[in-house]
Amino acid sequence: MDRLVKLAEHGDIDGLELSWMEAAEGEDIDWPDMLIAARTIAKKHDAGVAESLLRYLVSTLEGRGKSYEALSVVEQACRFLPQSDSLRREYTELYHLVHGHQSWCEQALEATLKDNEFQFPEALELLKKIEQLPPGTYVRKDPGARIGKIVRIIAGEGIKVDVEGQAQLVSLSRLDELHRLDANDIRALVLFERERLLRLAEEQPVELLRLVLNSFEGRAEGKRIRRYLQAIIGEGRWNAWWSKVRKETEKAPDIGSTAGKNPQFFIRTKLVPRVEELKNEFGRAADSDRPQLARRIGGDIDERKEDDRQLAACIAKELVRISHEQAPHSPALAADALAVLWRLGSMFGTMADDLKVRPGWVESSDWVHMLRYDLTDSAYLADILEFLPAWLPDGWRAVLLGALPYLPLHGCRKADQVLGSEQGGTMRRRRAVDAIMSHPDARLGALLWIWSLYRTAPQQQGQALHVNGPVLLRRILAAAASEGRARSGGSKSSARDIGSLKEAFTGEGEEAVEAAAGEVGDREIPALMNLIERNPGLNEDTRKRMLRAVRAANPALFRVSTPPWESPCIYTTREGLERRQRMYAELVNEKIPEIIEQVGEAAKFGDLSENAEYTAALEERERLSRAAEEIRKELSQARIIPPDMAETRHVNIGSKVRGRDCRTGRIHELTFLGPWDADPASGIYAYNSPLALAFMGAGTGDKVGYDSEEGPMRWEVLAVEPAAEFLG
């Protein structure tokens, strides 16, 4: 590793990249020392090179199933690459992979790493704080040392806390006011879990006393114990209950007490060997949690020590049992257990033969079905795919090719690595691509894997892999739309694939969209644009990039035009125009001549400088003349609303909209016509009013908003149609 640092110090980029890849491909990756080299090249020479090297290291660690180590690499790298968006995205994906099974994970990411208001190091620091404060956690809130419970994480706002029955919102900048309490802290349980305490008091009174003592560092006076428990037990029952507990504690080997009128009770301390503690922890865990726990414990085992070897053997025995017992009704758990067992075998060389067992159910299982339906969300999918050739020596290739269309993106990448051990890379990948493209229901992740190959050089890769760019692009968009609509109830791997869309269509990905769109016929471009514009799987940034690429590929088809509602013309219905014309005629032919006559009459009353009637008449004449001139100019700009103007999928002048007021939930029918047609009492609004302008250009399902005198207003567009009754 000294060589890496020296190469970095001398700025030898080529030599550093070669040595870096050799170090990353080694059996044991010494990533802490590699970080020193990355920091050196970032500070002295080229941050972009450091970023590229780190992405390679992170990808390698993830591919080996070392997601926690990959997270640690990025956490330390952000200190010297705080502006790296790619490392930020990489960390977000890794974090979701490792912690995605936690209900709070997505909320925490939305509040920190996905909020661009925070710099990467700041977002990471906040994420680490939030990680210690997931919903359901008990806390002490300062100032005041009040006890509370975390309710939920709210992106952009902070953490909602139930503080002794009162809801409070703690901003992210004030998280240091919250101090995590143990899940069994009596001060919190008295407030939030009284029923549990009552059951313990009845069924396990000594355990309840242990709980109180552990809340106060293992020691508490009798008075303090009574202060917390009497409200649970009841004042009338306290003495009898406490006498019973005192007798039972005398038999408890781990609880002691002092003599006197106000004795202290305490937990006797005893040292438990580390291996025994780990064995007990593994023994208490449910079968569903044991693969993950075994993977964690495995990292602490030293195979040179006899006690550790016995612990590994104990864990292996349980994993083999889980694999056998769970195979008939929970194949995913059985496969997870087997994958972890083999991973431990690869970690402990001297025990490999004992750990790398192959149960009989492996040969008889339908692995394509399992990989499609049971294992796509497995945290050990990469391990399972890696070990599949050893589990199925004769059939693993067919299994991988059969399962590829249904794997998430990271699963396809791993499968490609496993298949890559064979000769004939281009033909092998062509078979893999054909396996995916031949399935009409191939999932988004599999299609994105093909896109990751295609986008590097669309023309060359398209020919080499027999990939039709426009067809692949449309299928990705269709799959993204399907995943986007099912996002709320979708799998974790589907959510991760949706999150990969942004990276897929950024940089060379956007250029690949332009290349594919350039092969699309002019008549098909509107359909492609519609598939992008109305796609629920795309975020706004990705949508804009893709639309920009399509326009760049077909510039002649896109002319910049001013929308009608921004035109200097005044659009109106025929009836509205006639009303305005009658108003003008009345001013010019009746009101102005009448006021001119009044001016003449007023002038007959003598001194004009003190003639109030004359002055008032002159002012009225000026007002009417100005009004007539304004109406004349408006009439010169007037245009009748053409019937086809409203025949669009989006709100336009002449549209009738069914919308829901998001504040009240009430549904209203709104018609947007000209300013001379407006009648708010009848639901008719001028298209240039604030309400109408908020709706202009919106489509069904969109939400719009504007600021009114009553405060912010939000509407949801439910339906759009032409207001045909006004546009004849």
The 3-class secondary structure across 232-300, one letter per residue, is: HHCCCCHHHHHHHHHHHHCCCCCEEECCCCCCEEEECCCCCCHHHHHHHHHHHCCHHHHHHHHHHHHCC
Q: Give the confidence band of 694 by pLDDT, cuts at 50, 70, 90.
A: very high
Q: How far is CA 662 from CA 56, 671, 699, in A?
A: 47, 18, 16
- Write down the pLDDT at residue 561: 60
pLDDT tens profile 638-690 = 999 988 888 777 899 999 999 999 988 999 999 999 999 999 999 999 999 99
pLDDT tens profile 466-487 = 888 889 899 999 888 888 887 6
Rounded to 5°, the CA angle 175-178-183 comes to: 130
Rounded percentage of the chain residues whose pLDDT exceeds 90: 14
- Does pLDDT of 278 surpass 70? yes
- Write down the pLDDT at residue 653: 93
Query: Which DSSP symbol is given to 488?
Result: G
CA distance 151 to 138: 10
**CB-based contacts of 186: which residues, under 8 Å, 6+ apart?**
197, 211, 212, 215, 228, 229
Q: How far is CA 676 from CA 591, 625, 693, 694, in A?
A: 20, 20, 16, 19
Do the bridges between strand 146-154 and strand 158-163 make them parallel or antiparallel, or are there none, so unpaired? antiparallel
pTM of the model: 0.44
- Does pLDDT of 8 surpass 60? yes
Do the bridges between strand 255-257 and strand 158-163 make them parallel or antiparallel, or are there none, so unpaired? unpaired
pLDDT higher at 405 or 309:
405
- Does pLDDT of 637 surpass 80? yes
Omega of the bond prior to 642 within 30 degrees of 0, cis? no
Residue indicated by tokens 């609004």 = 685
- Write down the pLDDT at residue 352: 59
**CB-based contacts of 471: which residues, under 8 Å, 6+ apart?**
437
Beta strands in 27-145 (DSSP E): 138-141
Query: Which DSSP symbol is given to 442?
Result: -
Q: How far is CA 89 from CA 445, 502, 520, in A?
A: 17, 10, 31
Q: Which of 45-49, 459-463, 519-523, 588-592 has the highest mean pLDDT?
A: 588-592
Sketch out the chain's domains with CATH numbers: 2-99 (1.25.40), 186-267 (no CATH), 367-555 (no CATH), 570-639 (1.10.287.180), 643-726 (3.10.50.30)
CA distance 516 to 500: 19
pLDDT tens profile 84-135 = 888 888 888 888 888 888 888 888 888 888 888 888 888 888 888 888 888 9
Which pair of tokens denotes residue 556? 């002649």
- Does pLDDT of 607 surpass 60? no
Rounded to 5°, the CA angle 215-216-220 comes to: 120
Rounded percentage of the chain residues whose pLDDT exceeds 70: 93
- Write down the pLDDT at residue 681: 92
CB 521 within 8 A of CB 470: no
Q: Beginning with the edge strand found earlier in the chain, give each strand of the sheet holding 703-708 in spatial order.
A: 684-686, 667-673, 655-661, 711-722, 703-708
Averaged pLDDT for residues 392-402: 88
Q: Give the confidence band of 354 by pLDDT, cuts at 50, 70, 90.
A: low
CB 627 within 8 A of CB 587: yes
pLDDT tens profile 368-383 = 888 888 777 777 888 8
CB 351 within 8 A of CB 310: no
- Write down the pLDDT at residue 687: 94
Which pair of tokens denotes residue 290? 């044991």
Averaged pLDDT for residues 695-716: 88
Query: Which DSSP symbol is given to 139?
Result: E
CB 297 within 8 A of CB 344: no
Query: Which DSSP symbol is given to 713?
Result: E
Q: Which stretches within 64-119 are classed as H helix?
A: 67-77, 85-99, 105-111
- Write down the pLDDT at residue 78: 84
pLDDT tens profile 494-511 = 778 888 888 888 888 888
User: Among 523, 447, 433, 450, which residue's Cα sits nearest to residue 482?
Assistant: 447
- Write down the pLDDT at residue 271: 45
In one-letter notation, the amino acid at residue 88 is R
Residue indicated by tokens 């004849």 = 728
Mean of the per-residue pLDDT values for the chain? Answer: 84
- Does pLDDT of 491 surpass 80? no
- Does pLDDT of 422 surpass 80? no
- Write down the pLDDT at residue 605: 60
- Does pLDDT of 489 surpass 60? no
